[in-house]
Each structure stands twice: as structure tokens, then as C-alpha cells.
Amino acid sequence: MSTIPLDYETLRLIWWLLLGVLLIGFAIMGGRDLGVGTLLPFAARTDAERRVLLNVVGPTWEGNQVWLIVGGGVIFAAFPPLYAVSFSGFYLAMIVILLALILRPVGFKYRSKIKDDRWRATWDTVLFIGGFVPSLIFGVAVGNVLLGAPFHVDGTMRAFYTGNFFMLLTPFALLCGLVSLGMIGTQGAAVIAGRTTGPLAERARTYGSLAGIVTILLFALAGVWIAFGIDGYAITSTVDGNAAINPLGKSVELTRGGWLANYGLYPWMIAGPVLGFAGLAGAVIGLQARLRLASLLASSVAITGIVATAGLSLFPFLLPSSTVPEASLTLWDASSSHLTLFIMLLVTVFFLPIILLYTAFVFRVMRGTVSTQSLEKNPNAY
């Protein structure tokens, strides 16, 4: 261990940050596809317009899922106790998300194979479900993390989840789901407005502006609810960032509005909610002013701020326990070994730039406006 140039505490912090980057990356990149799918039955009125939307995101949606896959892999390798509890406890919710995501590639491939109105309408519904359901449930999951999950850990470090799927559908969790749905819808509208023209782009601007305004209100309501309506968690015992993992080796107390404590301890964290509100406002202004790139960048900033707000509020908690608070999983007691984190960091330093460069190359190649005329010239269009 002494040969590793970074101490255990620093590596844990680095991987907490990298996990946040991956989740934000998926929300921004995957949000393009999920948002367009969610807006499909509203922004597009004709078969030609729906084909345009499919081809706006069709060539790049598979690459965008890399962020989700890598994020899940990081949870598995860097924070195995978190993986064990969340992927088993939220199993049914994750199955619903996966089924919805699986519907999307099938819809892309088969939707235009047959020139039949009922056939295509069915696949349009499938694509809508594939965008709407994950956007909502991802937010519901974040809401349940803030509320705390019903699990405990025994003396042998085995985790036991005692909840069920319907326990996840609380009012606050559903509010977080609506915030997620709104920010993803705004992102999808910005993509449509930036890549299409005519009535399709105009409707996207209308729906995107509405989604942005509603999300501002919902995000503010969630903040008030967190301050006055739910308990936050705080570690009251001494924390050793270099100690071996032991979720039961700490004491935790709950206080009303406790999730706001970090903003007093680390004032710079206020950048999270500020970016969320400013990004949403910028997206609405950009859509109304027909600033294509500016509205998409502002929407991405909003997603960054909203996701970061959840992570910064929870720090250092990864998954609080609502039944046995002392068993809550934190950054300091739910990570892999010192050596594992270091080897993973070396691999990440090598591969992450490659992924970023390839992503930039693909989006550069696929840039430009998509229209019914361009689809007629492309025999490989969806």
C-alpha cells in the first residue's frame, strides 16, 4: 500500500467525483435520446416529422448508453456495498427501466419497416415509453436516496433490504421524478430545436420552454421540501478517510433539513443549485430567442447543476438507511480496496479521453439539420 502514490482518502474522493461525472454525463448525453422520445408524440404531428426525430437521435443513441454502462460498472467495482444494496433492493425498478430502454432499439429498427399507420403508431408509443419511463424513474430513485432506503447490515457485513417497489412511490420521490422528467424534456426540446426546422422546431421550443419553467418551479419546491419536510443524515462520530470499510463503525443522527448542512460547511457547493436554476432559465431564454447551441448548452448546464445538487447535498453519504441509520453507506465505508481504486484510476486515465474524443468525433460527423429532404437522400435513414 505504501507504494501507491495517492492515499486511500484521496482515491475515495476521486472516485466519488468520477461517479458524479459519469452520472452527469449520462443525464446529458442519454437525456438527448430520452428527451426526444418523451416529446415524440407531442412535438411531431405527422409520420414524416416522427421520422425526422428518430433520425435526430438514432445514429448516436447507442454511444450515449456507454455513460450508463460505465456508471453501473463503477458502482460495481468502486463501491461494491452500494451496488449490492441498490441493485438488489431497487431490483424491480431497475427491471422496469431496463425493459423500457430495451424497447428503444427495437422501436428504432422496426418502426419504419412497414408502411402501416397502426404499426408505426404502436412503435411511436413504444419509443415514448422508452423515453418517459426511465426519465421518471431515475428521478424517483434519487428521491428515495434522499429519503433513505429501508435496509440494514448484519455483523458479517451482509445487507438486507426490507422494502418493496411500491414503497418507492412516495410524494417526495415522485416530485424528484417530475424534476428529472422536466429537465430531460428540456434537453430533448433543445436537441430538436437545434437539429430541425419549421413547425417541428417551433413546437419543440414551445414544449421546451414550458418544461423549463415547470422544472424551475418543481426544483424550487423540492428544495423547500428538503429544508422543511424531510430529515437529513449527518455523521456524528470521528471519520477516518483512510480506514478499512465498515458501515457499522459510525454513529449517525437525523435532523430536519439536514441535507442543507453541507452548504454551510462548504459554501462553494451552492454552485450546484445555482447552475440548476441558471441553466434552466438560460435554456428557456435560448429556446425563445432561437439560439440553438446556447439553449442546448444551457440545458446541459441545468442537468449538471441539478444532478450535482443531489450529490453535494448527500456528501459523504451514498445510500442512507431509513431503518438503521448507522448502517448507511458512505464514501468512507463502502468503497473497494486502496489498490483496486488505484488500478481503476490508471485504467480510467487511459480510456476516458478515448471515449471523449470518439464521442466528439461522432457528433461532429453527425452534425447538421435533419429534414424530410435529407431523409430522402439517405437510404440508411430510420
Contact 184, 35 (CB under 8 A): yes
| CB atoms closer than 10 angstroms to residue 257 | 13
Is pLDDT at 300 greater than 70 in this prediction? yes
Strands 151-153 and 317-319: unpaired
Residue 363: which of 32, 16, 19, 17 has the closest Cα?
32
pLDDT digits (tens, 9 = 90+) for 81-105: 999 888 888 888 889 998 998 888 8
What mean pLDDT comes out for the span 294-320?
A: 96
Model confidence over 196-216: pLDDT tens digits? 999 999 999 999 999 999 999
C-alpha count within 13 angstroms, C-beta hemisphere, residue 120: 17
Q: Are 342 and 4 in contact (CB under 8 A)?
A: yes
In this prediction, residues 271-299 reach a mean pLDDT of: 96
- Residue 290 clears pLDDT 70, i.e. is over it: yes
CA separation for the pair 35, 109 (Å, rounded): 19
Q: How far apart are CA 34 and CA 299, in angstroms?
A: 14
Quote the pTM value: 0.92
User: What's the pLDDT band for 1 if we cut at 50, 70, 90?
Assistant: very low
Query: What does the pLDDT average to over 292-302?
Result: 95
Q: What angle do CA 372, 373, 375 make, to 5 degrees?
A: 65
Instruction: Say which amino acid occupies 77.
Output: A
Q: d(Cα 238, Cα 277) in Å, to the nearest integer?
A: 35
Q: Considering only 123-127, 131-135, 240-244, 358-362, which range has the smallest mean pLDDT? A: 240-244
Q: What are 27-65's pLDDT values in tens digits? A: 999 999 999 999 999 999 998 899 999 989 888 888 888
The yes-or-no verdict on residue 287 having pLDDT over 90 is yes
The values of phi and psi at residue 171, to 5°, are -55, -45
All three cell numbers of 246, joined, read 465498515
Q: Are 71 and 215 in contact (CB under 8 A)?
A: no
Lookup: cell for 357: 474524443
> What residues pair up with 381 in beta bridges, in sequence order?
none
CB distance 147 to 170 below 8 Å: yes
Taking CB atoms within 8 Å and a gap of at least 24, the contacts of 363-369 are: 363/60, 366/59, 366/60, 368/195, 369/195, 369/196, 369/197
| Candidate ranges 25-34, 67-76, 297-306; pick with highest mean pLDDT | 297-306
Mean per-residue pLDDT of the chain: 91
The per-residue pLDDT for 2 is 54
Q: What is the DSSP letter of 163?
A: -
Share of the chain above pLDDT 90, in %: 66
Cell 450546484 belongs to which residue? 272
- Name which residue leads in pLDDT, 374 or 224: 224
d(CA 32, CA 221): 25
Residue 276's pLDDT is what?
A: 97
Q: Which residue has the cell 445538487?
A: 309
Q: pLDDT for 157-176, tens place per residue?
A: 788 888 787 888 999 999 99
CA-CA distance, 242 to 332, in Å (whole number)? Answer: 8
Instruction: State which H helix or E strand residue 235 sits in.
Output: strand 231-235
